[in-house]
Structures are given as C-alpha cells and as structure tokens.
Amino acid sequence: MTAFDDDYDIRTFPAALAPESTDDEPRADAETAGWVRAEALGFHEAAPDENAVGRTARRLAADGRTETGVYPREPRDGSLDAEGQPVATFESFVKSLNVGGGRLLDAHLISGVTVQPTHRRRGLLRRLMTDDLARAKGAGLAVAALTASEGSIYRRFGFGVGVRERTIEVDPRRASGLLGEPEGSTELVSRDALVELAPAVFARYHARTPGSIDRHEGAWNRLLGRERPDGTPDPAVRGAVHRDSSGVVDGYVAYRLEGADGARALVVLDLVSATDDAYLGLWQLLLSVDLVATVQYAGAQQSDPLGHALVDGRAVRVTHDEDHVWFRVLDTVAALQARPWAADGVVTIAVGDSLGHAAGTFRVTSEGGSATVKRAAVRRADIELDVATLGSLWLGGVDPVTLAAAGLVRERRKGAVQTVRAMIAADRPLHSITHF
C-alpha cells in the first residue's frame, strides 16, 4: 500500500476573494471556490453557482477562516477533483467563548469537515484533525470546539459534549400566559431595524452566558433573514424587541410563520436576551400572536425557565434533545485557569490524552473564585478521566457525578467527585445559540 503523502496533497490556505471581486458581485479565488463546492457536496447541498460561491467566500473571509483540502495527486479525467475540488474539506477559525463569570477565551473552532464517500477509510479525517489540533496547540490556544452532524465521530479525537440544546414546542392556548409579569415592554420592528440592533444585544447575552460562542457572519445572515441562498433577504422573517424599564433594548426575537390557518406554526429563528425579563417578555409576546397553533424553538437551553414561568407548564413539550457544542482541551493548565471557580478546594486530576496535548496529572487549587493549576507528581490522583470527559465537565455543563456514574470519571479518593462538583459549578446554566 502506498503512503498517504504519495496519494494525496494537503493544502491549507485562507479563504479569499478573487482580485476581480466587487461588493455587488463577490467572486471567490480558485482554491476557495473549489473548497466551497466540495463542502456543499459533502453536506448534500445543491451545487452552488458562481454567485453563491462568491457570497460564501465573502463570509468565510470576513471570519478569517483557514481552509484545508485534500487533493489526489493523480486525479482522474472527468472527476470533480480534476476540476479543483478537494476530496476532503476542513476549516478552522477563532471566536471568543464565555467560560463563566463574564470571562471570554479565544477558542479554536472547527467546521466544514467532509470526506467524499469514494475516499473514506483512508485516514483523511484523522490526518486533517490531528494536524489542525497540533497547529492550534502551537498557536497557544487552550481549547478547540465544534458542533457535530454525527455524534459518534469526535470523541476519538478528544472532544466531549460540553453544551446540550433542546427543541421545544409550546401550545399557546394551553400555556394560559405567565405566572408573573416581566418588567419592560415589547414591540414589533422591521427586519432592517433588527439587523441594526441585534449585534449589541447579542454581545450582552454573550458576556453573561457561560458556554456562549460569538457569532460568525453566516449565522447573522441566516437567523435574521438577511440573506437567503439566492442572496436576497427573506421577506417572511419578522422581528420584535424587548425594552427594559428605561427603554434600552435588552432582547430580540426573529421568527417566521409557517403553515395554514388552524395549523399555523410560529417558528423562532433567533431569540437573544440579555436579561431574564427580556426572555420572559419575548415569550409573552410570542404566545400572544393570534391564529397560531404552536410556537417552535430549536435553541432552548437544558434548564429553560419557561416551563416554570407558565400558568400551565405542560404546554411546553420537548421534541428533541441533543449534543450541541463539543470541547477539546489542548492546554489543561491554561483551560482550567481561564474559568472561574465556585468553591475553594484542592483536587488532583489525572488526564489521559492519546494525542498528548492535555495529558498529565494536575493539582488544582481554587481560592477566591480563581484557580492555580500545576503539574503534580503524585502516586495516585484524586480523580482520573480522559481528555474528552474533561471537555464535558470543564465549564460545569455536565455533572461530574453523572460522568462518574457513566464510568467516565474514576474516583480514587473518597469524596473527590463531590469536591470537584462544588468547585466547577457554573454561575449560570451553560447555553450556546451559535452553530458553526
């Protein structure tokens, strides 16, 4: 069998526009265009035309994304790879992650991972992932993150589920309103006004919400109806804002109405609140829209307060629950020291990592809300886990008691798991409304 590098060429390059690109007609450069088309193929999307490729390239370039493609050294005539499309794609970029207490940490985000079915089982994904994680570690980034199309792929590379999300449906007639009256007021706004107001509101949400990842260009376009696949705004998207008692906008919602009378659904596209009153006030508005049979929201947090706030909490039905953000610790000391700590304590943690980035035994000493983390030379650590499990409990999104019950955390000193549980408790429930 020939070696990987004899069969394939790996190219890494920044997403870029061609020199002839204009604001009105963006054009991707040749490498980026081939990469965009290959990614669309990998995710079973319609083949994009030149205009769509250009718009995508503009978004990728605005995010500062780095693209990687795998290209056969001897492409066959007539194949897509002979036209400059890679047989595997991979991209990464950096955005801030809220690690709790209003602290923001640069995170290495991974996206656009595809491998053509004709080139599977050849080590392409492993090579792309291990090379990329090594680059991120070398660049001084403490953690990588991704959202996954499939749930069985990424744990082998050290990623653990850190944030989950739910899809909920609410019957507005059964809900019967809120038990209390949130402060502030709501009003409908145009899509243009929403586009103008949204970034400042999201920044406040991002600053208060552990687990939140900053927005990228594509998210804004999709969620606010700013740009459909054909490049035009979506006229079906409607918007509303919540103002606090002083008149400052502290929340917004973008939504669309779907279906016919009698079975019409109000589909929430984006719901962002910088305060608890804004969240409840926007829901109060959504549940007051006439001729709506159900309100659907795919970005609810695990501990959503809505069911407790309604007169009839049974009006809320969870229709889907799945992993959302996966974390991969690259530098254990830096990652643990970056986050706030809820209780004073001392614990030693042994971390296994087949790639070596986060491996070792570490003594964590938390005091006054912060921690000092040092490598420790001990015969046996208080708890033992692998790096994927560390990713799950890192920000407090998954209870270490639950992970111990699953056999993923091994307690070597009695009471150590409870000690860790108290130390890592998050100041607010983890939530992320950014997909990438």
pTM for the complete prediction?
Answer: 0.95
Give yes or no: residues 224 and 308 share one domain: yes
Give the pLDDT confidence score for residue 156 in this predicted structure. Answer: 97
Collapsing DSSP to helix, strand or coil, 218 comes out as: helix
The Cα–Cα gap between 304 and 320 comes to 14
CB of 230 closer than 8 Å to CB of 216: no
Per-residue H/E/C for 346-392: EEEEEEECCCCCCCEEEEEEEECCEEEEEECCCCCCCEEEEHHHHHH
Q: How far is CA 425 from the centre of its chain?
A: 21
Mean pLDDT of 338-347: 98
Give the pLDDT confidence score for residue 2 in this predicted structure. Answer: 53
Q: Is residue 379 part of a domain?
A: yes
* Final residue of a structural domain among 285, 308, 325: 325
* Domain extent at residue 364: 331-424
Mean pLDDT of 41-67: 96
User: How far is CA 22 from each of CA 25, 26, 64, 79, 264, rounded to the nearest angstrom?
Assistant: 5, 5, 18, 31, 41
Give yes or no: residues 369 and 301 share one domain: no
CB of 116 closer than 8 Å to CB of 153: no
Give yes or no: residues 129 and 200 share one domain: no
Give yes or no: residues 285 and 352 share one domain: no
Give the pLDDT confidence score for residue 1 in this predicted structure. Answer: 43
Give yes or no: residues 262 and 170 share one domain: yes
Q: Is residue 412 part of a domain?
A: yes
The Cα–Cα gap between 105 and 327 comes to 13
Give the pairing type, strands 316-329 and 294-300: unpaired
Give yes or no: residues 102 and 25 share one domain: yes
> Mind giving me the DSSP string for 239-299?
EEEEE-TTS-EEEEEEEEEES-TTS-EEEEEEEEESSHHHHHHHHHHHTT-TT-SEEEEEE
The pLDDT tens digits for 285-294 are 999 999 999 9
The Cα–Cα gap between 258 and 182 comes to 28
CATH, residue 348: 3.30.1050.10
Question: What percentage of the chain exceeds 90 in pLDDT?
Answer: 93
- How many domains does the structure of the chain reveal? 3
- Taking residue 196's Cβ as centre, other Cβ atoms within 10 Å add up to 11
Geometric angle at alpha carbon 30, from 26 and 32, rounded to 5°? 70
Mean pLDDT of the chain: 96
pLDDT at residue 3 greater than cutoff 80? no
Give the pLDDT confidence score for residue 227 in this predicted structure. Answer: 87
The pLDDT tens digits for 134-189 are 999 999 999 999 999 999 999 999 999 999 999 999 999 999 999 999 999 999 99
Q: Is residue 223 part of a domain?
A: yes
Q: Is residue 161 part of a domain?
A: no
Give yes or no: residues 252 and 140 share one domain: no
pLDDT at residue 196 greater than cutoff 50? yes
Give yes or no: residues 58 and 142 share one domain: yes
The pLDDT tens digits for 16-33 are 999 999 999 999 999 999
Q: Is residue 160 part of a domain?
A: no
* Final residue of a structural domain among 325, 360, 376: 325
Q: Is residue 84 part of a domain?
A: yes
Name the one residue in this structure whose structure tokens are 């265009």: 33
CATH, residue 34: 3.40.630.30
* Final residue of a structural domain among 325, 346, 377: 325
Element (H, E) at 312: none
Give yes or no: residues 418 and 356 share one domain: yes
- Taking residue 370's Cβ as centre, other Cβ atoms within 10 Å add up to 14
More confident residue, 261 or 215: 215
The pLDDT tens digits for 413-430 are 999 999 999 999 999 999
Query: How would residue 228 be classed by pLDDT, with cut points 50, 70 and 90?
Result: confident
Mean pLDDT of 305-319: 98
Q: Is residue 430 part of a domain?
A: no
Q: Is residue 74 part of a domain?
A: yes
Give yes or no: residues 179 and 300 share one domain: yes
